[in-house]
Structure formats: C-alpha cells, structure tokens
Structure 1
Amino acid sequence: MPGSEEREIQDLMDRYFDGIYHSDSAVLRTVFHTDLAYVNGTEGSYENMGLEPYMARIDARTATASRGDLRDEVIERIAFKGNRIGIVEARMTMMGRNYQDLLTILNTDDGWRVLTKVFSFVERGD
C-alpha cells in the first residue's frame, strides 16, 4: 500500500493529467508552483517559460477531451529526496504526440507542487 506521500503525489498527478486533458488552467494552478519553469527540450522545439505564459497557452488550446481523444497517461516513477523534494517521471499521448515528462516536485505550505516541467515529445505515426 502506498504511503501518504505517494498518495499525495498520485492525487497531484491525477489533477495534472486531468488539467492537461481538459485544458483547465484552474485545475493546473493547483498542480504547479507559482515559480514554475516550463521547458520543452525537444530538438528543434526548445522553449522556456513561466507559469503565466503557460497558463495562457493552456487557455488558448483546444482541449484534447473535446476531440474525444482517448486518455493514455502513465506515472513511470516517483522518487523522493527527503520529505521536501522529489521527481516524477511520466508519459502521456495527446495532440498526435508521445510526451515524456520529468517533473520536479516541492512540498510547500500548500502541499506538493510541480516546480519544473521538463519534457520532450515525438510525433506519432498514426
């Protein structure tokens, strides 16, 4: 049975996946730290932005859910370093791409939050 920290991270990731699938910035604001660093590390697509530009992008995006796309998301690993920091490795498929996420997490006064989202993607062939 997972410990309380693992359950908290599972809840955080449930909100993360839901917020992205539904393009819901209100939900995602409960996931991300206000000092978020969003980094696309895909070759030829590098970009780095903070929370507000990322939330504006989410708000402008057509939600994956509205297209009826199936959800395909997995938490591959959760690792803690002490009781304040950790990393989550996750993957998801949406918008015709396979995404790989490395999320650093920080235990704040408001609970666990994603401080950095570093990801890359590959286009799907189907």
Structure 2
Amino acid sequence: MNSLILTSTAIGVTLCAVIVFLVRRDHLQIRRALFWLLIAAGALLFGLFPQLSDWLAQRTGVAYPPMLVAVAALAIFAVKLLLVDMSNTRMEHDLRRLNQRLALYEAMLESTGRSVTDSAVERS
C-alpha cells in the first residue's frame, strides 16, 4: 500500500512540476494548464489519501473502489478530448475563412494590376 501512495504522490508532484515548467517556458497557456493542474492535484490527493476513493465508492455504491477512480478519469479525459476536437474544428473553420479572405484580397489586387508585394511595400 505504501508503494501505491508513493507512486501516486510522485506522479502528482511530477505532473505539477512539468506543468509549471511548460507554463513558464510559454509552451502551455494558463487556461489549458488549469485543467492539467486539477488533474495533478487529484492524483496528489488520491495519492496522499487513498481511503478517499474507498469513501467515495461507498457513498456512490460502487463495489470496487479503484474502478470509480478509473471510470472518473476516463470520463474526464473523454470530455477533454471532446473540447480539444471542438477547438480544432473552430480553428480549422477560422483558418478556412482566413484563406478565403486572403484569396479575395489577392484577386482584388490582381484586378487592379498590383501584386501583394507591391501593396506591402506601399504600406511600409
């Protein structure tokens, strides 16, 4: 049981450290880091207090407490995956719209006999 506590606690602390490192290096936005910090805090909490999963399983009527944690983790990651897909879809839509606007702008410049580089030189 002590190895489980140590392993879960080590995972939580390591995940927290990695997230803070990524935020400081500007590889991860604060908004997205909050989700991962909550996951790390949950791992740390269940690592330090393993009886918490037993208590939650008893309250919810789950017969095998480790399954409660596993199913909850799968559900959380499924929601996170759905949110990431929604974000990617929104970015692809915005990129498609931006490409269309750029194509219209280039077509407009070509119809006036100017090129995109000529227009950029005039602005500077």
Task: Please indicate the TM-score interval, normalised by the length of the shorter structure.
Answer: under 0.3
Relative to its length, the structure with more helix (as a share) is: 2
Task: Normalising by structure 2, report the TM-score.
Answer: 0.26
Task: Normalising by structure 1, report the TM-score.
Answer: 0.26
Structure possessing the higher relative contact order (Cα contacts under 8 Å, 6 or more residues apart): 1
Relative to its length, the structure with more strand (as a share) is: 1
